A and B are shown apart, each in its own frame.
Chain A
Amino acid sequence: MAVSALATGCQPPGFFDGQNLWHEWVVNFFPRIGDSICRGMGGHADGGPPNWLIYLVLGFLGSLIVVNIAALGVPFVVLLERKLLGRFQNRIGPNRVGPFGLLQPVADALKLMTKEDITPAAADKIVFALAPLAFAIPIILMFAPIPWADHASLANLDIGILWVIAVTTAAEAGIFMAGWSSNNKYSLFGAMRAVALLVSYEIPLVLSLLGVVLLAGTLNLSEIVLDQRFAPNILWQPLGFFVFIIAVSAELNRAPFDQLEAESELVSGFHTEYSGMKWAMVQLGEYAALIGFSAIIATLFLSGWKGPLWIPGYIWLVTKMAFILCAFIWVRATIPRMRIDQIMAFGWKFLLPLSIINIFATAAEVIAFPDALPYWLIPINIAFAGACVVGMAKLLGFQPKTRKIVIPGRPVIGDDTPGRIVPLMRGGN
Chain B
Amino acid sequence: MTLKTEPIIVNIGPQHPSTHGVFRLRILFDGEVIHDVEPVFGYLHRGSEKLAEERTYTQIVTLTDRLDYLAAMSNNLSYCLSVEKLMGIEAPERAKYIRTIMAELMRISSHLMGLGFFLQDLGAFATPLMYMFREREKIMDLFEMASGARITYTYMRPGGVNDDLPPEFMPALRKFADEMPGYIDEYERLLRENEILITRTKGVGVLPRDLAINGSLSGPALRASGVPWDLRKADPYEVYSRVQFDLPVGQIGDNYDRFLVRLEEMRQSLRIVRQCMQQMPAGPFRADLPMLLRPPKGDAYAHVEGPKGELGFYLVSDGSISPYRCAIRAPSFINLSLLKEMLVGWKIADMITIVGSLDFNMGEVDR
Contacts and interface: CB of A to CB of B under 8 A. Distances in A.
B partners with A:
yes
Interface of A: 85, 88-91, 185-186, 189, 255-256, 258, 262-267, 332-342, 398, 400-403, 405-410, 412-413, 415-417, 420, 422, 424-426, 428
A336 B200 contact: yes
A417 B349 contact: no
Contacts of B261: 405
A398 B195 contact: yes
B40 interface: no
Nearest to B122: A336
A403 B251 contact: yes
Interface stretch (B125-133, B159-167, B209-217, B300-308): B125-133
B343 interface: no
Given A340-B347, A416-B244, A402 B193 contact: yes
Nearest to B197: A336
B198 A416 contact: no
A339 B349 contact: yes
A402 B134 CA distance: 26
B124 A336 contact: yes
Contact of B127 (A333, A342, A398): A333
Closest 7 CB pairs of A and B: A337-B123, A89-B130, A336-B124, A336-B122, A264-B18, A400-B193, A407-B246
Interface residues of B, number: 57
Contacts, number: 143
A85 B127 CA distance: 8
B93 interface: no
B17 A263 contact: yes
A88 B127 contact: yes
Interface string B239-251: 0000010111111
Contacts of A255: 123, 125
Contact of B264 (A256, A332, A341, A405): A405
Q: Chain A: interface secondary structure? A: loop
Nearest to B189: A425
Given A263-B17, A264-B352, A413-B246, A334 B127 contact: yes
Contacts of B126: 85, 89
Given A90-B131, A333-B125, 18 more contacts: A90-B134, A185-B10, A256-B123, A258-B123, A263-B123, A265-B352, A267-B16, A267-B17, A337-B122, A338-B200, A398-B199, A405-B260, A407-B264, A409-B247, A412-B246, A415-B271, A416-B271, A417-B278
Interface in B13-46: 16-18, 32
A339 B352 CA distance: 11
Contacts of A91: 130
A90 B92 CA distance: 42
15 contacts: A89-B127, A185-B8, A256-B196, A335-B124, A336-B123, A337-B200, A342-B199, A398-B195, A400-B193, A402-B193, A406-B250, A407-B246, A407-B247, A412-B244, A416-B271
Contacts of B188: 425
Contacts of A424: 181
Contact of B247 (A341, A408, A425): A408
A262 B10 CA distance: 16
A341 B204 CA distance: 14
A422 B271 CA distance: 12
B78 interface: no
Contact of B274 (A186, A262, A417): A417
A310 B322 CA distance: 84
B119 interface: yes
B192 interface: yes
Interface string B220-236: 00000010100000000
Contacts of B321: none
Interface of B: 8, 10, 16-18, 32, 119-127, 130-131, 134, 178, 181, 185, 188-189, 192-200, 202, 226, 228, 244, 246-251, 256-257, 260-261, 264, 267, 271, 274-275, 278, 347-350, 352
A332 B125 contact: yes
B247 A335 contact: no
Nearest to B191: A336
A398 B251 CA distance: 21
Contact of A338 (B121, B196, B226): B196
Contacts of A403: 202, 251, 256-257, 260
B124 to A, nearest CB: 4
Contacts of A337: 122-124, 196, 200, 349
A176 B190 CA distance: 36
B165 to A, nearest CB: 19
A342 B274 CA distance: 43
A408 B249 contact: yes
B198 A401 contact: yes
A416 B122 CA distance: 35
Contacts of A189: 32, 348
A185 B27 CA distance: 12
B228 A264 contact: no
A256 B125 CA distance: 10
Contacts of B195: 398, 400
A334 B195 CA distance: 12
Contacts of B278: 416-417
Nearest to B228: A408
Contacts of A256: 123, 196
Contacts of B264: 405, 407, 426
B32 A340 contact: yes
A98 B181 CA distance: 40
Nearest to A399: B195
Contacts of A339: 199-200, 347, 349-350
Nearest to B248: A405
A262 B130 contact: no
A338 B199 contact: yes
A267 B193 CA distance: 28
B6 to A, nearest CB: 12
B101 to A, nearest CB: 14
Contacts of B18: 263-265
B185 A262 contact: no
A405 B130 contact: no
Given A90-B134, A403-B251, A410 B198 contact: no
